[in-house]
Chain A
């Protein structure tokens, strides 16, 4: 694979720079797409009497605009920079798991296309707003299959994001070059670390919301259509994810700004260590504020009071983050370049967006502001102003690094000014429209809102074309721009100083896992896409693609089974806080952290509807305690047998390994066979099925999710067994056994919670 353009190369790459470029181009495509949606909404609101978009079309437009902008544009653009520059900043050869990185990208692209496809299905797409509030999002009120497709598209994205977060956390913790200690870790990488940690924490909750909503829509459970679960359960699951998501979107932009501002102020970020501490505080607090999205749902005053205080508290470290950047300018030697202008713009908007955010934190002011355009203005100042301007600072800052060419700076500066003016014209009037409800396509009784809407739309017509021209300026420079020097900004950050090379330099492709080019991630992701369509629309497609996924997985691991390979560990700069772990093991542990949230959310949902129910069938009358106990013993024994397998290979005993793994496999199969072969048919015969109420719904959904995990664990055990029979494990090389063992124990521990919750109480 030498230089030059080759489609095959882009389809099969696992190189972090190339995947970074793919993320970037894809996210910009989604920006333009969702931007056109925004433009059509603004046009409708300026001239509502023309009826450009009827309410149903408007509902779909507003939904897709929100979903795509937040989840398929802003966040992925940050991830694009993270892909390209985190390894360069920390001196890693690539991400920890390059092929999984490719899977992340393809799942991201396919999920976006799947979401867009939902609108073209008969009956239209989702029209519930990006928050997908239940019960509106259940089949009774949105029967169209496009809604189910959109929900599953979101599920694919959640999978992509989870894989990404595991990958980046492992990379940043494990793959730093010698000397790259936490103390000297660049601020952009800190921003990315905070982002992916939040992603790992937040997305499983969305994932569970999606799983349960899909079960409701496809299988007929009643998590969100029943009064016991319903809208509030969805609200909790969604906003537990949704508020951290705001910070997931903003943090990479803050990281970029903290790189750009010191570079062009020509002095270091003022008090970097403190800035990082403040950033960490923001990240931690951001997971404790989600209820402020539900102040008017009738939850108790004490809860609201608490969440008002946490929401106000987050302003303190956040203000520190902003002020730290402003103070960096003091007594500096500032060069006004294009990236610096965008960073200034982002600072300006984060101040305005932050302060208007404090207004909504007040539970008293929320009574009038909730659901109106003041909020729309506020979050666009944060999401568009801070995040787009911040990320644009990165786009222009790193453009010469990525392409080796320089854009036309004069045009870019001019367009910045136009964008800045257009932006304020677009969003500032919204603060004055505070009584106008969000997500309405017309307001016939309030003609007094027309002038401000016209003004806002005029701003959109300035802002959007200027933004588009800015991208065209870059596109032109990509092909015709003058050659840039190695370090045109005289930046001091490691990606500029230490390493040469725009994208054509693919020197870092070595080692087993970093082979470089493989079609497997693309194929696997495509099959997962088909599976998602299958779940939404056609069970037979789901089954066929599931089988194909299994075959692909086997093919994927074929090389691993045949060969003896040992992982060549790169030396991390320092081992703290993980002293002796292999990067695979670290990856498994990080992944399990997200699994804990998954099961935590599923079990919480069960407890939520159970507590809200007045009557609930007694466990002893429904469930067969003998079978439950038998299965518990089986799972516990299997944990023991996999420990024996690991112990055996540590002592070099191959037969013991094979026996232990064999026993684990048999016990795992027995567990599933008893559950699916005896227990469930018996329950179904009793009339305990998905349409018989929440007791059955929660039982099948929760233990079903667990059974799927057992099945996945079984596949992994079978892989270990195949490799063990071929002699693939030795005393030194048994990481895979250990890692699968950790996962297997986790699945068993989950059962230890489910057994009492369903069989005993």
Chain B
């Protein structure tokens, strides 16, 4: 994460950290209580059980309501921040401001088809800084089109077109950076090796390459 990937990865990691902190505090509280009670209230084997007056049910009811309210408030807060981030991740920008790439998953690879009809396997070139929408489907079984470094993925399902989108960050001085694309749904014996590459290119390099695709042979079978 060298440069900003505004709407997916950064927002995702921020949300993850919130969950991590809240989850750690909640878990640590209950676990400390568990460990503290287990150590503090050890009884001796063979000794008579100390007399114990069961507190009235109303006390337990009060405690239950208190605990339920606390956790409900926390969970509601998590839901609200989740929805905010989900909004950012899921709603693609308008199509006319974006590069739309058709992604067709099949056993066992991804085919990428560009607006000019050029189609290729193995590497998906995208320009940095532009909205890229992937229109994802499958020709055979369930697959999942995932780009782990962008914290996003979407199921590739026969007969359905699902969208996911990214903005590739500035690739830096080298002019291009490669990210992994993987299938995240068991799709048969070739699943472990069903992967591809996302090549994030400087816009001018991308444009140069894209202009040349008209005369290029289609990649793959």
- Which residues of A are interface residues toward B (Cβ below 8 A)? 54-56, 58-59, 62, 127-129, 133-136, 141, 227-228, 230-232, 265-268, 270-271, 273-274, 278, 296-298, 301, 304-305, 308-309, 312-313, 315-317, 319-320, 322-324, 326-327, 329-336, 344, 347-348, 351-352, 355-356, 358-359, 362-365, 367-368, 370-372, 435, 437-446
B105 to chain A, nearest CB (A): 12
Is B154 located at the chain interface by the 8 A CB criterion? Answer: yes
A-chain residues with CB within 8 Å of residue B52 when the two chains form the complex:
267, 331-333
B-chain residues with CB within 8 Å of residue A329 when the two chains form the complex:
34, 37-38, 41
**A334 interface neighbour in B31, B38, B191, Cβ under 8 Å:** B38
Q: How far, in angstroms, from A317 to B27 measured CA to CA in the complex?
A: 16
Among B55, B71, B107, B161, max chain A CB count under 10 A is at B71
The answer to whether A344 touches B38, judged by C-beta atoms less than 8 angstroms apart, is yes
A687 to chain B, nearest CB (A): 25
B-chain residues with CB within 8 Å of residue A316 when the two chains form the complex:
68, 71-72, 75
**A336 interface neighbour in B42, B148, B192, B193, Cβ under 8 Å:** B42
**B64 interface neighbour in A141, A232, A320, A442, Cβ under 8 Å:** A320
Q: How far, in angstroms, from A135 to B189 measured CA to CA in the complex?
A: 15
18 CB contacts below 8 A, A to B, read A133-B185, A266-B43, A298-B161, A305-B83, A312-B79, A330-B37, A333-B47, A333-B52, A334-B38, A351-B27, A351-B31, A362-B82, A364-B15, A367-B8, A368-B12, A368-B151, A371-B144, A440-B191
B45 to chain A, nearest CB (A): 6
The answer to whether A298 touches B68, judged by C-beta atoms less than 8 angstroms apart, is no
Given the known inter-chain contacts A230-B159, A308-B82, A335-B43, please indicate yes or no for A273 contacting B57, CB distance below 8 A: yes
B194 to chain A, nearest CB (A): 9
B-chain residues with CB within 8 Å of residue A270 when the two chains form the complex:
55, 60
**B158 interface neighbour in A227, A266, A363, A370, Cβ under 8 Å:** A227
Is B155 located at the chain interface by the 8 A CB criterion? Answer: yes
**A274 interface neighbour in B31, B61, B193, Cβ under 8 Å:** B61
Q: How far, in angstroms, from A371 to B156 measured CA to CA in the complex?
A: 13
**B78 interface neighbour in A267, A273, A312, A444, Cβ under 8 Å:** A312
A-chain residues with CB within 8 Å of residue B59 when the two chains form the complex:
271
Q: How far, in angstroms, from A269 to B19 measured CA to CA in the complex?
A: 31
Is B205 located at the chain interface by the 8 A CB criterion? Answer: no
The answer to whether B188 touches A332, judged by C-beta atoms less than 8 angstroms apart, is no
- B84 and chain A: residue at smallest CB distance: A364
B-chain residues with CB within 8 Å of residue A442 when the two chains form the complex:
192-193
The answer to whether B72 touches A437, judged by C-beta atoms less than 8 angstroms apart, is no
The answer to whether B64 touches A274, judged by C-beta atoms less than 8 angstroms apart, is yes
Given the known inter-chain contacts A136-B186, A362-B78, A364-B83, please indicate yes or no for A332 contacting B37, CB distance below 8 A: yes
Q: How far, in angstroms, from A372 to B59 measured CA to CA in the complex?
A: 43
- Which residues of B are interface residues toward A (Cβ below 8 A)? 8, 11-12, 15-16, 19, 23, 26-27, 30-31, 33-34, 37-38, 41-43, 45, 47, 49-50, 52, 54-55, 57, 59-61, 63-64, 67-68, 71-72, 75-76, 78-79, 82-83, 85-86, 89-90, 107, 140-142, 144, 146, 148, 151-155, 157-162, 180, 182-193, 195
The answer to whether A127 touches B64, judged by C-beta atoms less than 8 angstroms apart, is no
Please give 14 more A-B residue pairs, beta carbons under 8 A apart, in addition to A297-B155, A356-B23, A438-B184: A127-B189, A136-B186, A230-B159, A266-B43, A267-B54, A296-B144, A313-B72, A331-B52, A364-B82, A364-B83, A367-B90, A367-B153, A370-B146, A437-B182
B-chain residues with CB within 8 Å of residue A356 when the two chains form the complex:
23
A222 to chain B, nearest CB (A): 12
The answer to whether A315 touches B148, judged by C-beta atoms less than 8 angstroms apart, is no
B-chain residues with CB within 8 Å of residue A371 when the two chains form the complex:
144, 146, 153, 184-185
Among A54, A297, A437, max chain B CB count under 10 A is at A437
Q: How far, in angstroms, from A301 to B162 measured CA to CA in the complex?
A: 12
A524 to chain B, nearest CB (A): 36
Q: How far, in angstroms, from A296 to B163 measured CA to CA in the complex?
A: 10
A-chain residues with CB within 8 Å of residue B86 when the two chains form the complex:
301, 304, 362-364, 367
B-chain residues with CB within 8 Å of residue A317 when the two chains form the complex:
68
The answer to whether B64 touches A365, judged by C-beta atoms less than 8 angstroms apart, is no
- B56 and chain A: residue at smallest CB distance: A271
The answer to whether B34 touches A347, judged by C-beta atoms less than 8 angstroms apart, is yes
Q: How far, in angstroms, from A439 to B37 measured CA to CA in the complex?
A: 40
B-chain residues with CB within 8 Å of residue A230 when the two chains form the complex:
157-159
Given the known inter-chain contacts A320-B64, A329-B41, A351-B31, please indicate yes or no for A136 contacting B187, CB distance below 8 A: yes
The answer to whether A231 touches B142, judged by C-beta atoms less than 8 angstroms apart, is yes
A-chain residues with CB within 8 Å of residue B79 when the two chains form the complex:
308-309, 312, 362
Q: How far, in angstroms, from A62 to B64 measured CA to CA in the complex?
A: 40
Q: How far, in angstroms, from A273 to B57 measured CA to CA in the complex?
A: 8
The answer to whether A141 touches B140, judged by C-beta atoms less than 8 angstroms apart, is yes
Given the known inter-chain contacts A332-B41, A364-B12, please indicate yes or no for A271 contacting B64, CB distance below 8 A: yes
The answer to whether A323 touches B162, judged by C-beta atoms less than 8 angstroms apart, is no
Q: How far, in angstroms, from A55 to B38 measured CA to CA in the complex?
A: 46
**A445 interface neighbour in B154, B157, B195, Cβ under 8 Å:** B195
Given the known inter-chain contacts A59-B188, A443-B192, please indicate yes or no for A348 contacting B155, CB distance below 8 A: no
